[in-house]
Structure 1
């Protein structure tokens, strides 16, 4: 199963390299595009859940790395939810 990383920039300018055990993240995020925080969190939740489910279907257990990444994304994004203008940028994909 091909894994990938994706680089995002939070509304405060902090960049983070994130992990996905599947290329499915490209179905939910686009390089160079910005997303309102709430939308970004929902897209990440859907993509990383699908990715973890694919690992489970193949190996018999969900992907703890995908679940951990999702938890980190949700924790980092939560403080920005009160700001309707806050955007997260998907900077790049790394295969």
Structure 2
């Protein structure tokens, strides 16, 4: 199963490398685009859940690494929840 890494830039300028066990991320995000925090969270939840389900369909168990990545994204996003105009940029994809 092709995995990929992608880099996001949080509202405070911090860059973070993220992981997906599937290329489904490309269906949700575009490199160079930024997204309102709430939209980024919704799309991350959908994409990483689908990615985990694809792993489960193939190997018989969900991808704990994808769910861990989602938990990390949600935890960091909570730190910016008080900022209504917060945006997250997807900077790069690395297959």
Provide the TM-score with structure 1 as the length reference.
0.98
1:79 CA drift (Å)? 1.6
Distance in 2 (alpha carbons) for counterparts of 1:57 and 1:81: 34
Distance in 2 (alpha carbons) for counterparts of 1:94 and 1:60: 26
* 1:1-95 equivalent positions in 2, closer than 5 A: 1-95=1-95
Over aligned residues, Cα RMSD in angstroms? Answer: 0.5
- Runs of at least 5 residues in structure 1 that lack an aligned partner in the other structure: none
- The count of corresponding residues between Structure 1 and Structure 2 is 95
Distance in 2 (alpha carbons) for counterparts of 1:44 and 1:58: 21
Tell me the secondary structure at the aligned position of residue 19 of structure 2. Answer: strand
Give the 4+ runs in structure 1 shifted more than 6 A. none
Provide the TM-score with structure 2 as the length reference.
0.98
- Runs of at least 5 residues in structure 2 that lack an aligned partner in the other structure: none
